[in-house]
């Protein structure tokens, strides 16, 4: 039986993630927040429904995606069944596993989820009740969900055990001294895993039968995050680094203490100095938050922020450099670039080394980090050419690629693209290049922004035209169609404020199409075995269907006084 349970979990675990990710519905109730402790080390919650028009738009494609994921799961099932066939006395377990997976696959569709009592407006939350992970989501019909669980039991030929807390029943199965619990309470489904030896009162806390004295519904944690970062209730979440560090450093109390005791976990014996330095280390990035700011029929905007200690955030905020065009979406196939003030980066790094040397780490756990400071100082003392500190960044735009056939391993016949390098005293850079290449010297490129034809044999193989343009603080080279105008245009592009450190945009539909073509090629999995044609076809369909939903994607990484902010925008196809 243990082999069967482990096999079922290995096949279904990733499948559950795929199903929940593809079914991107969210709910319209904040009731779930009253079950989440205010000091939960991590939490993510969706308490506002996806706009109906957007759900209507996406659900047909999501349903097709789920069907493609079904094929991936069946492939994983087939592999697991082959492994089980090699073991003795596994025939019965293999047949039960097949039945359980087939029952699960019936849920991997919009209709299957509805028949299990999960609607598009079902609110959900995933959080830590201390150390214990809990998944909670609303049900439209508890009887439908209970019937679904019963069908799983029948397929597995393993009736779940019944527990009771304050007159409320729940089901569980023992897995190596842990209880995987599935319960329907207060018109909600609750899934969690707790030590089998945990006392009833603590199980009641984990399930929410006994609610926390102070919850996220009463505290302002999520509301403050939404207000600070302009998130919506479609989805908001966080990871509290300091709280997580505290859980495992000990001494724990309450539910956490009982869970750790049940798991026979003994916190490491730490000196006061180590405890202090670990706490300080967690304080470098005390929290990560994420959420959706905009969801409409045309666009989805989201962000993730790694909050940093004030002095570090302020120091990093000086590192990005404004680069013309960086942070904008110029259209075309793909654009990417970096804005970087090398001197500011050096100063930031040097300040960190100064801090470590002024107050050396005394905890043995950070001995390597302390030793690395000396090596870092040696690296800083190495002389660098002045041109390095003149560099400010670059932007590369790939407008189009023609004749690129991944399926037949055929390189591009032509490329329309351009690259612009921002650098102080760009004339010196061109002068250095002219000394090494007579063709560049013959161009007589002047810092007037006017395009000059670039005659290089290396470029002639992929483009008919190549032009370069120069101004005092940047140089641009463009090839292919429209190269003359593009080389001048890149120099004239606007600079975005606040300047991003890194930016990327792409034609998502075309990118996924290319990935779908790549999936048609022979591939090997992690173990080096050839991926079957059926698996390749399923993955190709997943890429193709994903591309049918999205139009363009933009990602910008910024260093601000709040921390590292990663913002994303996904334009949806009509």
- Contact by Cβ (8 Å): 528, 515: no
Structural element, H or E, at residue 326: none
The sign one gets for the Cα dihedral 192, 198, 201, 202 is: negative
- Contact by Cβ (8 Å): 97, 81: yes
What pLDDT is recorded for position 527?
Answer: 58
Is position 436 within any domain?
yes
Is position 229 within any domain?
no
Q: Let me know whether 66 and 204 are in one domain.
A: yes
What pLDDT is recorded for position 461?
Answer: 67
Q: What is the DSSP string of 204-224?
A: HHHHTSS--SSBTTTSSHHHH
What pLDDT is recorded for position 418?
Answer: 94
Domain end (from 217, 245, 267): 217
Q: Give CA–CA dist 544/342, Å, rounded.
A: 41
Q: Give CA–CA dist 355/353, Å, rounded.
A: 5
Q: What is the DSSP string of 87-131?
A: STT-HHHHHHHHHHHHHHHTTSSHHHHHHTT--TT--EEEEEETT
Q: What is the DSSP string of 488-553?
A: HHHHHPPPPSSPPSEEEEEEHHHHHHHHHHHHTS--B-TTSPBPPHHHHHHHHHHHHHHHHHEEEE
Is position 323 within any domain?
no
Distance of CA 537 to the CA centre of its chain: 25
> Per-residue pLDDT tens for 226-283?
999 999 989 999 999 999 888 888 777 777 777 777 777 777 788 889 989 999 999 9
Grade residue 25 by pLDDT with cuts at 50, 70 and 90: very low
Pair of tokens at residue 548: 């049918």
Is position 295 within any domain?
no
Pair of tokens at residue 568: 């994303």
Task: Tell which wins on pLDDT, 78 or 564.
Answer: 564
pLDDT at 175 exceeding the cut of 90: no
pLDDT at 521 exceeding the cut of 60: yes
Domain end (from 162, 184, 217): 217
Mean pLDDT over each residue of the chain, to the nearest integer? 86
Lowest mean pLDDT among 76-90, 139-153, 159-173, 518-532: 518-532
Number of domains present in the structure of the chain: 2
Q: Tell me the residue range of the domain where 152 lies.
A: 2-217
Grade residue 216 by pLDDT with cuts at 50, 70 and 90: very high
What pLDDT is recorded for position 439?
Answer: 77
Average pLDDT over residues 147-175: 88
> Per-residue pLDDT tens for 461-516?
667 788 999 999 999 999 988 999 999 999 999 999 999 999 999 999 888 888 88
- Contact by Cβ (8 Å): 243, 41: yes
82, exposed or middle or buried, with CB in 10 Å at 0-12, 13-18, 19+?
exposed
Average pLDDT over residues 381-399: 90
Is position 351 within any domain?
no
| Pairing status of strand 550-560 against strand 287-295 | unpaired
Domain end (from 202, 217, 232): 217
> Per-residue pLDDT tens for 43-54?
999 988 888 999
Is position 309 within any domain?
no
């Amino acid at each position: 039986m243990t082999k069967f349970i482990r096999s079922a979990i290995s096949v279904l675990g990733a499948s559950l993630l795929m199903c929940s990710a593809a079914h991107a519905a969210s709910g319209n109730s904040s009731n779930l927040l009253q079950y989440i402790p205010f000091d939960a080390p991590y939490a993510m919650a969706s308490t506002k429904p996806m706009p109906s028009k957007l759900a209507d738009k996406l659900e047909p494609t999501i349903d097709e995606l789920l069907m493609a994921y079904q094929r991936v799961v069946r492939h994983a099932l087939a592999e697991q069944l082959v492994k089980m066939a090699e073991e003795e006395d596994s025939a019965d377990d293999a047949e039960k596993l097949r039945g359980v997976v087939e029952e699960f696959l019936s849920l991997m569709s919009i209709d299957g989820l509805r028949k299990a009592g999960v609607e598009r407006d079902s609110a959900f939350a995933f959080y830590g009740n201390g150390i214990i992970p809990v998944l909670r989501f609303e049900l439209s019909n508890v009887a439908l969900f209970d019937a679904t669980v019963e069908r799983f039991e029948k397929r597995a030929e393993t009736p779940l055990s019944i527990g009771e807390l304050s007159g409320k029943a729940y089901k569980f199965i023992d897995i190596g001294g842990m209880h995987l619990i599935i319960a329907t309470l207060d018109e909600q489904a609750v899934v969690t895993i707790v030590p089998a030896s945990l006392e009833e009162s603590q199980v009641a806390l984990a399930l929410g039968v006994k609610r926390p004295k102070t919850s996220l519904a009463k505290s302002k944690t999520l509301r403050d995050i939404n207000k600070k970062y302009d998130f919506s209730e479609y989805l908001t979440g966080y990871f509290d680094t300091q709280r997580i560090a505290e859980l495992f450093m000990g001494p724990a109390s309450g539910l956490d203490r009982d869970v750790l005791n049940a798991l026979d976990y003994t916190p490491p014996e730490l000196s006061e100095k180590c405890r202090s330095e670990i706490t300080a280390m967690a304080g470098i990035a005390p929290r990560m938050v994420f959420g959706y700011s905009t969801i409409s029929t045309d666009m989805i905007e989201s962000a993730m922020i790694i909050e940093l200690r004030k002095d570090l955030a302020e120091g990093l905020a000086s590192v990005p450099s404004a680069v013309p065009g960086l942070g904008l979406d110029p259209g075309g196939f793909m654009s990417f670039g970096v804005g970087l003030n090398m001197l500011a980066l050096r100063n930031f790094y040097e300040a960190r080394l100064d801090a470590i040397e002024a107050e050396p780490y005394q905890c043995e756990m950070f001995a390597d980090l302390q030793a690395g400071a000396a090596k870092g100082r040696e690296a800083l003392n190495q002389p660098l050419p002045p041109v390095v500190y003149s560099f400010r960044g670059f932007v590369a735009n790939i407008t189009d690629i023609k004749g690129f056939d991944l399926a037949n391993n055929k390189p591009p016949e032509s490329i329309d693209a351009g690259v612009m390098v921002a650098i102080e005293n760009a004339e010196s850079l061109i002068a250095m290049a002219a000394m090494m290449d007579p063709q560049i010297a013959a161009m007589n490129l002047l810092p007037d922004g006017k395009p000059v034809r670039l005659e290089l044999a290396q470029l002639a193989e992929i483009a008919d035209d190549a032009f370069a343009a120069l101004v005092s603080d940047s140089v641009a080279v463009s090839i292919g169609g429209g190269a003359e105008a593009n080389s001048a245009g890149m120099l004239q592009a606007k600079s975005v404020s606040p300047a991003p450190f890194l930016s990327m945009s792409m034609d998502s539909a075309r990118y996924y199409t290319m990935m779908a073509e790549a999936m048609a090629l022979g591939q090997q999995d992690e173990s080096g075995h050839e991926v079957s044609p059926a698996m390749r076809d399923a993955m190709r369909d997943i890429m193709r269907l994903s591309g049918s939903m999205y139009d363009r994607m933009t990602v910008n990484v910024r260093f601000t006084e709040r921390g590292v902010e990663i913002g994303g925008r996904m334009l949806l196809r009509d």
